[in-house]
Structure 1
């Protein structure tokens, strides 16, 4: 991701188009050109649109889940395929960040040394453990969602979870936090996002999921999906605030790798929370 964003000067294009195309260029493997000017304005626009790449991942997972259900794949295999699609479509950049942050936090080193560990291109056992545990929770939660009595309920939720989890990067890039370096990708994006944008995205995703659920699902399942998305978003935001504050304290600020760690862990939290809410709603 940082390799696509070397700071340069120049004139910006229209905000909406530049934000959407840059977010998709930076955060997916899709062939979008993105911005030609890279500065904090570009970073703010791209981070404001970051749930859009999440929607793309969600659509891919929903398509995989639908096809796998039709051919009779087990929920566990389908869940693995969904998570694999998310990682391939993002070049595994977020789990790379999670691994680096896991190594840094597990070292219990000073902020200066922890930042050096994050910059090290090698992954240690602690980082690998963080990745395995996080992906394990994601797969298990998605598998249980797909095993619900109404498969469509689980598929709809899986389609929204990646967008919900990407709000975590908006929190990390909000004005509550600062980059620990004056250069690089983190300096371009962290501290640029107004908090109100996160609330607007939460409302938009919850409303959209509710409308789709009302059209596609009967009775209690529609309400379960709406509630699941709303509560998962709130829990994801709460979890991210706690983790981001901890990272900010331990590292003396945040960087781009921290955004990857926030996204991956928030994906697990959102999936798990949505599962709990939907199960409570649909089971007697």
Structure 2
């Protein structure tokens, strides 16, 4: 991601188009032509559209889940295929960030040394452990969602998880935080996003879920799926705020790797929160 964004100057294109296509260019393997000018304006526009790549990944997961249901594949295998597709379609860049942040936090080093560990291209045992635990929770939560009594409900929720996690990760790019260096990718995105955009995306994803659920599911099932997605977003945002504050304190700011770590961790938290809420709703 950061390799596509070396800071340059020049004239920006239309805000909506530039933000949308730059987000897809930076955060997926899609051959989309993003911005040609890279600065904090570009970063703000792209991060405001951060959930859009998540919607793309969610669409892929929905397709996988639908085909797997037709073929009679197990929820566990389907969950693994969904998570694998998300990592492949994002060049595994967020896993790389999670591993770097895991190594830095696990070192208990002072902020300056922790930032050096993040910049190190090698991954240690702590970083690998963070990746394994996070992916395990993702797969387990998605598997249980796909095993819900209503298969379409589980597939719908799983399809919304990537958008929820990227919406949650926008907290790290919000104006509550600052980059820990004056250059690099983090300096272009950290501290650029107004918090109202997080609320806008939460509402948009919730409404989209409610509309889809009303068309595909029965009354009570539609309500529980919609409430589960809404709760998943709230849980992800709350978790992202806590983790971002901790990273900001431990590292003296945030960077692009922190955003990757937030995306991976909130994917697990959003899925798990949605699952718990849906289970509770079903038991009432």
| TM bucket, shorter chain | over 0.9
Corresponding residue SS for 2:58: helix
After TM superposition, give the deviation of residue 230 of structure 1 in Å: 0.9
- After alignment, is 166-175 or 82-91 more displaced? 166-175
Contact 1:76 1:143 in 2 (8 A): yes
The equivalent residue for 2:16 is 16
- TM-score, length of structure 2 as denominator length: 0.99
1:56 and 2:64 equivalent?
Answer: no
TM-score, with length taken from structure 1: 0.99
CA contact (8 A) 2:58 2:158 kept: yes
How far apart are the structure 2 equivalents of 1:261 and 1:167? 14
Separation in structure 2 between the aligned mates of residue 242 and residue 5 of structure 1, nearest angstrom: 28
Tell me the distance in 2 between the aligned counterparts of 1:246 and 1:167.
19
Runs of 4+ in structure 1 over 3 Å off: none
Aligned to 1:95: 95
* 1:130-165 C-alpha deviation (Å, 9 max, x unpaired): 000000000000000111110101000011010000
Do the aligned partners of 1:220 and 1:281 also contact (CA within 8 Å) in 2?
no
Counterpart residue number, 2:43: 43
| CA-CA distance at 1:120 after TM superposition | 0.2
The answer as to whether partners of 2:58 and 2:162 remain within 8 angstroms in 1 is yes
Output the aligned Cα RMSD.
0.6
Q: Distance in 2 between matches of 1:173 and 1:281?
A: 33
Gaps of 5+ in 2: none
- Tell me how far 1:168 sits from its aligned partner: 2.5
CA contact (8 A) 1:138 1:267 kept: yes
Matched residue, 2:108: 108
Q: Tell me the alpha carbon deviations over residues 230-269 of structure 1, each in whole angstroms, 9 at most, x when there is no partner.
A: 1111111000000000000000000000000000000000
Is 1:140 paired with 2:137? no
| Structure 1 segments unaligned to the other structure (5+ residues) | none
Tell me the distance in 2 between the aligned counterparts of 1:103 and 1:167. Answer: 25
**What do residues 58-112 of structure 1 show as CA deviations (whole Å, max 9, x unaligned)?**
0000100110110010110000000000000000000100000000000000000
Q: What are the within-5 Å matches in structure 2 for residues 42-191 of structure 1? A: 42-191=42-191
Q: What is the aligned partner in structure 1 of residue 198 from structure 2?
A: 198
Give aligned pairs, total.
Answer: 284
